[in-house]
Amino acid sequence: MLQVRDGVLRVLLWKRAREPFAGRWALPGGYLEPGETLEDSIRRHLAVKVDVRELSHLEQLDTRSEPDRVPDEWQLATSYLGLVPTDADPGLPDDTAWHPVDRLPPTAFDHGAIVLAGRDRLRAKLSYTNAGFALAPETFTISQLRDLYGAALGHDVSATNLQRVLLRRNVLEPTGSRREPGRSGGRPASLFRFRSRELAITDEFAVLRPPR
């Protein structure tokens, strides 16, 4: 589960109490109940940590089956990428915390690799889908959105060009209202919102488009 928090892309991790990997950080999750869907299962396990309504997007990453990924046991795991808007602040149990994705603590199992795979998937999808909606509040200014994209992508993003790309692609729409400037002045910023809050591809054919 990823979120931009304090201007940094973070992942929710849970500190393991028991062996194996006692004291190391792990992704939330757990066993599948009979007859349960993978998605239902991850939502159920997450609900213990976070209110599920806060989840703005959830998608499957992959299934890992290497026999040595869990010591002394052969165990399959299907990983999911979950996103939470930056303005959500779920109350957390004591043994969980948001860790910067680019400075992970020692993790249990292959969870470090899974987090990086999730980060990479998010970065890719920010380029060619409307995935930003899942990180952003309901309405926002372009500079707020620039900061979110910057944190998620790991490099500076120009507000000017971000605005133009997302407006050209019809991903954003103006709400009509504005945000009052802070005490240091400045022009009031217009508020925007994502036209859709469901994942959609916005830049389908990079090349080799079908002919007219």
Partner DNA sequence: GCAAAAGTGTTGTGTCTACACCCATGT
Partner DNA sequence: ACATGGGTGTAGACACAACACTTTTGC
Binding site for DNA (CB under 7 A): 141-143, 158-161, 163-165, 168-169, 178, 180-190, 203, 206-209, 211-212
Please name every residue paired with 100 in a beta bridge, in sequence order, or none if there are none. 10
- The only residue of 8, 78, 143, 197 in contact with a second copy, by rule CB under 8 A: 78
Q: How far is CA 9 from the centre of its chain?
A: 8
Which DSSP helix (H) or strand (E) runs through 44?
helix 38-49
Binding window for a second copy (CB under 8 A); candidates: 33-41, 93-101, 136-144, 186-194: 33-41
How far is residue 9's CA from residue 13's CA, in Å, rounded to a whole number?
A: 13
Burial letters 19-41, b for 16+ CB under 10 A, else e: eebeebbbbbbeebeeeeeeeeb
- The only residue of 55, 135, 142, 157 in contact with a second copy, by rule CB under 8 A: 157
Pick what 15 binds: DNA, a second copy, none; C-beta below 5 to 8 Å, kind-dependent. none
How far is residue 161's CA from residue 151's CA, in Å, rounded to a whole number?
A: 16
Footprint on this chain of a second copy (rule: CB under 8 A): 32, 34-39, 60, 62-63, 65-67, 74, 76, 78, 126-128, 149, 153, 155-158, 161-162, 165, 203, 205-208, 210-211
